[in-house]
Amino acid sequence: MTTVYREQAPAYPPSVRRRDPATLLLILLWAGAAAVVALWWRNTGSVVGTAGWLTAAGRISGLLCGYTCVLLVGLMARVPLLERRVGSDRVARWHAMAGRYTICLLVAHAVLIIAGYADLARVSFWDEANTVVLHTDRVLPAALGTAVLIAVGIVSARAVRRRVGYEFWYYLHLLTYGSVFLSFGHQISLGAEFAGNEVAKGIWFALYLSVLALVVWFRFLTPVVLNLRHRLRVESVHREAPGVWSVVMRGRRLEKLGAESGQFFRWRFLTRGLWWTSTPYSLSAPPGSARLRITVKALGNHSASAPYLRPGTRVWAEGPYGALTADRRTTDQTLLVAAGVGITPLRALFETLPGEVTLLYRARSAEDLALKDELESIARRRGARVLYSLNGPDGKRPRLSPGTLHGMVPELADHDIYLCGPPGFAEDMYEALRAAGVPNRRIHHESFQM
């Protein structure tokens, strides 16, 4: 462990805490699900026999599936309120959960409806499936959408996701839009709850059209306006540590982006081999009016190409996203905990966070400490502390136990903790911090794994 500099901390404005809107949003989403169940209940009379029970269960699973499809697409729309106030990692988890619910409800709907019709007609399940899919109006497009959604669900499963390229997963994921809207006509034309109920039909149309508008505006039109207005280009590329490079980009009127330290953009470099994919990277310095900087580690094809970017290369950016900002603070004492390239958003926060700030930086060796000179300069200027956790001479990794953390940071439980690093490190640190008495509400972490 190395402690670097300790001076009198300058005065900063008091922290401002905004209410987390996640709880209210979850209440609204569950209220929507309850309204869907109420619609089904209102339109369901007495249920008689096996066929009746199967069909009724198929109807409610189909209705709920249609509702979760709206949530699935809405959570992919990159709405700033969600991305900045709720947090990209939490939105990603909600999206993944909605995806699992959607697949389960979709399979249940198809199996239950076909089984109910087969029992009623006294034919086999497969004969009835052939009749429903191939000879019922608007069911074939819905069946194609179902196949796409199931394929996306399989590829998104953690065991499979680790074995496929990011680009393949990303572009297959975009087919979710098409699969959801392929099923819409089937819902309206065959849904018993919408037959003769113009109010319910109007609300369902409004749900889908609203989500479509969000997708078109925030995923397509907003990035176009951003990039036409700010015209980002690569200005320079600098080596920071082995395999770690900073890319400085110049643009126009960047203060109007509304970006904050701790946030990230999705970056697409318009050069050969890179123009067709975008990857999230955090700002590694506070955003300026003319320049933005990211710092990346060569972990894949996209990031490994960073040192070969030429000055003048056009850059397509989407953002800013993320809620790992000063707004998350609840106290005037902050501990930033970084590992590896996770230092990038925390380096920007280290310069700009108000109050008393300590930075704990985990790396294998001193050579791997990216941005070290900048961190120490900031520490001198603002009277902050930098603590390094490096492997020993024998390569053994030091254990950051609750006791060790208390020894490094007195009154640890009274600090806000900003945490960024590889998933394994982040999980271990979260458990150690909780064991050290830090409340969950004061541990702020954001992952870009989804």
CB 352 within 8 A of CB 287: no
- 407-445 b/e (C-beta count within 10 Å ≥ 16 → b): ebbeebeebbbbbbbbeebbeebbebbeebebeeebbbb
Total Cβ atoms within 10 A of residue 141: 15
Three-state secondary structure readout of 164-228: CCHHHHHHHHHHHHHHHHHCHHHHHHHCHHHCCCHHHHHHHHHHHHHHHHHHHHHHHHHHHHHHH
pLDDT > 80? residue 16:
no
CATH of residue 368: 3.40.50.80
pLDDT > 70? residue 5:
no
Residue 450 lies in a domain: no
* Same domain (yes/no): 216, 251: no
In Å, how far from its chain's centre is CA 172? 17
Q: State the DSSP H helix or E strand holding residue 320, giving kind and residue range, or none if neither.
A: strand 315-321
CATH of residue 252: 2.40.30.10
Residue 377 lies in a domain: yes
What is the tens place of the pLDDT at every residue in 38-87? Answer: 999 988 877 888 999 999 999 999 999 999 999 988 988 888 888 777 87
Total Cβ atoms within 10 A of residue 39: 21
Amino acid letter, residue 12 = Y
* Same domain (yes/no): 414, 287: no
pLDDT for res 11: 35
Q: Which residue has the tokens 């988890």?
A: 93
* Same domain (yes/no): 134, 249: no
CB 75 within 8 A of CB 82: yes
* Same domain (yes/no): 252, 369: no
* Same domain (yes/no): 349, 366: yes
pLDDT for res 15: 40
Residue 275 lies in a domain: yes
What is the tens place of the pLDDT at every residue in 262-304? Answer: 999 999 999 987 888 888 899 999 999 999 999 998 777 777 7
What is the tens place of the pLDDT at every residue in 387-434? Answer: 999 998 887 888 889 999 988 998 899 999 999 988 889 889 999 999
Percentage of the residues of the chain whose pLDDT score is greater than 90:
52
Which residue among 321, 342, 361 closes a domain?
Answer: 321
pLDDT > 70? residue 190:
yes
Q: Is 14 exposed, middle or buried (0-12, 13-18, 19+ CB in 10 A)?
A: exposed
pLDDT for res 254: 94
Q: State the DSSP H helix or E strand holding residue 389, giving kind and residue range, or none if neither.
A: strand 385-390
Residue 332 lies in a domain: yes
Which residue among 226, 259, 280 closes a domain?
Answer: 226
**For residues 446 and 423, what is the distance between their CA atoms, to the nearest angstrom?**
10
pLDDT for res 179: 83
**For residues 125 and 130, what is the distance between their CA atoms, to the nearest angstrom?**
9
Total Cβ atoms within 10 A of residue 261: 22
Residue among 367, 432, 440 at smallest CA distance from 398: 432
Q: Which residue has the tokens 């996640």?
A: 22
* Same domain (yes/no): 185, 255: no
Residue 180 lies in a domain: yes
What is the tens place of the pLDDT at every residue in 87-137? Answer: 777 888 888 888 899 999 999 999 999 999 999 999 999 999 999 888 888
* Same domain (yes/no): 195, 280: no
* Same domain (yes/no): 434, 403: yes
**For residues 418 and 422, what is the distance between their CA atoms, to the nearest angstrom?**
14
* Same domain (yes/no): 413, 278: no
Total Cβ atoms within 10 A of residue 134: 10
Q: How many domains does the chain have?
A: 3
Average pLDDT over residues 177-204: 84
* Same domain (yes/no): 234, 222: no
pLDDT for res 395: 77
* Same domain (yes/no): 28, 94: yes
What is the tens place of the pLDDT at every residue in 374-392? Answer: 999 999 999 999 999 999 8
More confident residue, 237 or 392: 237
Residue among 223, 225, 242 at smallest CA distance from 369: 242
* Same domain (yes/no): 138, 195: yes
pLDDT for res 78: 86
Which residue among 164, 196, 226 closes a domain?
Answer: 226
Most distant CA atoms of the chain, gap in Å:
84
Structural domain boundaries enclosing 293: 230-321
Least confident of 107-116, 167-176, 325-334: 167-176
